[in-house]
Amino acid sequence: MKIKNILITGSICFLFLVGCTNIDENVYDKYSADDFYGSAQGADVALASVYAQVGGNWDGVGYAGADRGWYDLNCFSSDEQVIPHRTTGDWELDFARLYKHEWLPTDSFINNTWKWLYKSIFNANLAVNQLEKSNAEPSKIAEAKVLRAFFYYLLIDDFGDVPFYTDNNITVDQIPQSSRKEVYTFIVKELTDNVPLLSGTKGGNYYGRFNKWAGYTLLAKVYLNAQVYTGTPEWDKCLAACNKVSEGGYSLHSGAANASSPMGNKYYELFGDVLPDDETILSIFVTANVVSRNIFTIRSLNGPDAKALFGSSGWNGTIVPEDFFLKYADQDIRKKQFRFGDQGGGVNYAVKVASLDNPGAAPQAGVRDTKFYPVTPMDGGGASNDFPIYRYADVLLMKAECNVRLGNATTAKPFIDLVRQRAGLGVLAANPTLDDIYNERGFELNWEGHRRQDMIRFDKFLLANNFRGVSAGYRKLFPIPTAALDANKGLKQNTGY
């Protein structure tokens, strides 16, 4: 049974609040708004409205779990996955255009991501205001501010210079556009001021919430990309934040054999139902058709193949590009997530894909991915796999990267070797290079929302692939959506668009 998190608790509280509508009865006492949000229950209701935006749903809402939003925009523009148009007429060209770096300011992925992030910031601003006015517990105010910083971090990562506000008493057309560096500075200050105030509790009521360790992981991710955002690297600060995360007692989850796993190893428990808290730092709580949904494996598999495996038809969509797939060693347990070749029952997934868009890929062309092997409750619209936003493997690889960039490759080696050994690989024969770390991040964190950011930081994002030539430099940022420019005439479009 899944642990109930703040989303469910907050929803129940809200229903309780609006359930009493008999205005004729005598009122002997009343709970002012300030008193309510100052209570433990009320503070969680304020936070619940913000966390409700993190889980994935339709129309591009959420960090991960449904289609045409932040996850798709950032993952399909990288080298790890794509949905080709099919020669049978299935799947529109939008997904292939993301992979080919041909997106436009009017694309739904871009507009959905922008709207989701600004709705989330609006809710976070509201929560901060409610909690501060009511003198709520400092850790709850800090949690709301860290959530707001998280959304602004995602915004500057995708769009660069963005509209910035912390007070909802302003109309959209009046919100000023701030530079990426200015918003970065705000994010860092919010995190350094507030993360130490967060709870150190792991699991329980803090499953799926920002505790202190998730906050330091977010700070590490911000510092990791500081050179991209500001021109000034902050490897020492990233490393210090990672060391703070290590104080939380995290370790790598076992990669041992497990006959009960569909893919044969305990490693895949990291992508199943309730995620193991030895390695999982921050996750999205998912119960399909109740709270969020996870569509990734269902979207990937061919219909009859999915039906044979878990009883619901697949969408025959997402594939793993050949170049990405072929980098995995055969003995790597992480390669077990891929389905390729003859699967029986008339299903045979070809590794090579000849075309993404014109005329498109054959119906069974492309390697498929079952990393998020569906757990119940599930149906053809999604499964109940929780989603790992941050894992300790990522922290170890950040430590390795920072040390290499600081000239300490010998110190970096044990961190990357731990991740490799868990995957069934040997230790590196020599000290790691940046390419070793880049590749290992791809092997370990594929389909978890990190790849585009990694490709940009390692100067790989613009390189040619089998389906396009070298991309123009301006593609490192997405365009501000046309709808946002229409709503706020003071905004300046990103160069190149």
What are the tens digits of pLDDT across the range 314-328?
A: 999 999 999 999 999
In the block, which residue shows the tokens 């170890």? Answer: 396
On whether residue 206 sits in a domain, the answer given is no
Three-state secondary-structure class, residue 86: strand
Q: Which one, of 349, 451, 352, 387, lies nearest residue 80 by Cα?
A: 451
- What single DSSP character describes residue 368? E
- Work out the burial of residue 485: count CB atoms within 10 Å of its CB; fewer than 13 is exposed, 13-18 middle, 19 or more buried: middle
pLDDT on residue 26: 43
Q: At what angle do helices 6-19 and 40-51 cross, to 10 degrees?
A: 110
Q: What's the rounded Cα separation, in Å, for the pair 198 and 205?
A: 13
DSSP letters, 369-432, are: E-TT---SS-BTTBB---EEEEEHHHHHHHHHHHHHHTT-HHHHHHHHHHHHHHTTPPPPSSPP
Q: Which one, of 285, 284, 283, 256, lies nearest residue 268 by Cα?
A: 256
Using alpha carbons only, what angle is made at residue 59 by residues 55 and 61, rounded to the nearest 5 degrees?
25
Which residues contact residue 435 at a Cβ distance below 8 angstroms, ignoring those fewer than 6 apart?
none
On whether residue 370 sits in a domain, the answer given is yes
What are the beta bridge partners of residue 349? 341
Q: How many CB atoms lie within 10 A of CB 9?
A: 16
Average pLDDT, consecutive stretches of 10 residues, N- to C-terminus, the chain (497 residues):
42 32 41 83 95 91 90 98 97 97 98 97 98 97 98 98 98 98 98 98 94 98 98 98 98 96 96 97 95 96 96 97 98 98 97 97 98 96 96 99 98 98 98 98 98 98 97 98 98 98
Q: Which one, of 370, 383, 373, lies nearest residue 287 by Cα?
A: 383
Cβ(313)–Cβ(295) under 8 Å?
no
- Work out the burial of residue 21: count CB atoms within 10 Å of its CB; fewer than 13 is exposed, 13-18 middle, 19 or more buried: exposed
What are the beta bridge partners of residue 222? none
On whether residue 106 sits in a domain, the answer given is no
Q: How many CB atoms lie within 10 A of CB 128?
A: 23
Q: How many CB atoms lie within 10 A of CB 416?
A: 26
CA atoms within 13 A on the CB side of 117: 28
Cβ(80)–Cβ(320) under 8 Å?
yes
What are the tens digits of pLDDT across the range 166-208?
A: 999 999 999 999 999 999 999 999 999 999 999 999 999 899 9
Which residues contact residue 231 at a Cβ distance below 8 angstroms, ignoring those fewer than 6 apart?
181
Q: How many CB atoms lie within 10 A of CB 205?
A: 15
pLDDT on residue 31: 60
What are the tens digits of pLDDT across the range 29-67?
A: 446 777 899 999 999 999 999 999 999 888 899 999 778
Cβ(297)–Cβ(372) under 8 Å?
yes
Q: Which residue type does 65 have? A: G
In the block, which residue shows the tokens 């200050």? Answer: 189
Question: Phi/psi at 280 (nearest 5 deg)?
Answer: -75, 125
DSSP letters, 210-224, are: --HHHHHHHHHHHHH
On whether residue 476 sits in a domain, the answer given is no
On whether residue 198 sits in a domain, the answer given is no
Cβ(110)–Cβ(10) under 8 Å?
no
Q: What's the rounded Cα separation, in Å, for the pair 420 and 413?
A: 11
On whether residue 364 sits in a domain, the answer given is yes
Q: What's the rounded Cα separation, in Å, for the pair 380 and 382?
A: 6
Cβ(477)–Cβ(159) under 8 Å?
yes
First to last CA, the chain: 48
How many structural domains comprise the chain?
A: 1
Which residues contact residue 102 at a Cβ distance below 8 angstroms, ignoring those fewer than 6 apart?
468
Q: What's the rounded Cα separation, in Å, for the pair 53 and 50?
A: 6
Q: What's the rounded Cα separation, in Å, for the pair 49 and 123?
A: 7
360 is in which domain, residue-wise?
296-387
On whether residue 394 sits in a domain, the answer given is no
On whether residue 432 sits in a domain, the answer given is no
pLDDT on residue 9: 36
Q: Which residue type does 226 have? A: A
What are the tens digits of pLDDT across the range 278-304?
A: 999 999 999 999 999 999 999 999 999
Structure token digits, residue 464:
């040619």
Structure token digits, residue 288:
């399909």
